[in-house]
Structure 1
Amino acid sequence: MRARDVMSKGALTVAADRTIFEAVERLIAARVSALLVVDKDGKLEGIVSEADLIGRVGTGESLTTPLRRAAENIAEAAAFVRSRSQHVADVMTRKVVTADVDATLGELAELMVQHHIKRLPIVEHGAVVGIVSRIDLLQGLLSQPRSVDANASIAPPDETLGQRVEDALRQHGWAAAWEIDVVVQHAIAHLWGVVPDEQLRRAFQVAAEQVPGITAVDNHIHVVPRAVTGGLFR
Structure 2
Amino acid sequence: MGSGVVGRGVGAEWTVLASHRRTWGGPGDGDRQQCEERLHRPEVPPQGPDPTVQTVAPRHVHGVGRMVSPSVGPPPRLVPCVRPLWAPSGQTFGAADWEVFRIGDRIFLAVANSHSYDVGMQLQNDSYVINSAIYELNVTAQTFVKFQDIPTCSALDWEFFSVGEDYFLVVANSFDGNTFSVNSIIYRWQGYEGFVATHHLPTFGCRDWEAFSTAAGSYLIYSSAKEPLSRVLRLRMG
Per the normalisation by structure 2, the TM-score is 0.24
Per the normalisation by structure 1, the TM-score is 0.24
| Bigger helix fraction | 1
Rg bigger for which structure? 2
